Amino acid sequence: MFTGIIEEVGVIREMRFLSAGGVINVSAKWIAPGLKIGDSICVDGVCLTATQISPDSFYCDISAETLNRSNFKHSKPGTSVNLERSLQVGARMGGHFVLGHVDDTGQLTGKTSSGPGYEMTFEFPPELERYLVFKGSIAVNGISLTIASLQKNSFSVSVIPHTYEATNLSRLEIGHAVNLEVDVLGRYFERFFKLGREEEGKSESRITLEYLKEQGF
């Protein structure tokens, strides 16, 4: 589990595509020395496992499903990627719960100056619309961001100068693909509510408006 607070921007040194998946090598001068084989690391929003480690880089295997779901299928040597190690118990929670399970890719469609920072707009696939809410959290390339405005098939975020410079957002150009992960709480609520509706046809559902209010919804 991660928080969406980026620790380092690494660079892809090697990307090998195999018949079923791939292998990635990422330079990470600050993070790599503290890694162990088997550690989880979030690479541009994707949870991967370190399989080999050198003093300034690490290797990870990429499954076919991950390649299909993420922007890794477009990646090449020289591409900048956001890096975050897994959350430590007792550490401060600065962003939101990010699992590193990318839902799909979107693309940057707009970037304008906004005060000292930027407003960036991203287009998203229609199937993600029901999980996005105004002022809700979303992970873009592993970065915890807040939705500042929401349209039918796009959302905008306000990016402060520190986040812009400390992540690969500053390197994105219009049309670039980004990894998107919606807030997992929305998925759990959807499943919870769906099961309750299915129970209505069998017996009286235990999920009522009063019950949801008691649970904090």
- How high is the pLDDT of residue 98? 94
Helices and strands: H and E segment counts in the chain: 4, 12
- How high is the pLDDT of residue 205? 54
Which two tokens mark 68?
Answer: 């299909």
Could you tell me the CA-to-CA distances from 65 to 22, 62, 98, 102, 116 in Å, in that order? 11, 8, 18, 10, 39
Task: Give the contacts of 65 (CB within 8 A, at least 6 positions apart).
Answer: none
Tens digit of pLDDT per residue, the chain (217 long)?
A: 899 999 999 999 999 999 889 999 999 999 999 999 999 999 999 999 999 999 999 999 999 999 999 999 999 999 999 999 998 888 878 889 899 999 999 999 999 999 999 999 999 999 999 999 999 999 999 999 999 999 999 999 999 999 999 999 999 999 999 999 999 887 877 777 777 665 555 555 555 666 666 666 5
- How high is the pLDDT of residue 32? 96
Q: 31-67 burial string, b = 16+ CB within 10 Å, else e?
A: bbeebeeeebbbbbbbbbebeebeeebbbbebeeebb
- How high is the pLDDT of residue 208? 63
CA distance 143 to 137: 10
Class of domain 8-85: mainly beta
Which two tokens mark 125?
Answer: 């696939």
CA distance 3 to 91: 10
Say which CATH architecture domain 104-184 belongs to: Beta Barrel (2.40)
Domain ranges (residues) in the chain: 8-85, 104-184, 185-217
Contact between 100 and 42 under an 8 Å Cβ cutoff? The reply is yes
Q: 12, 31, 32: which is closest to 22 by C-alpha?
A: 12
- How high is the pLDDT of residue 49? 98
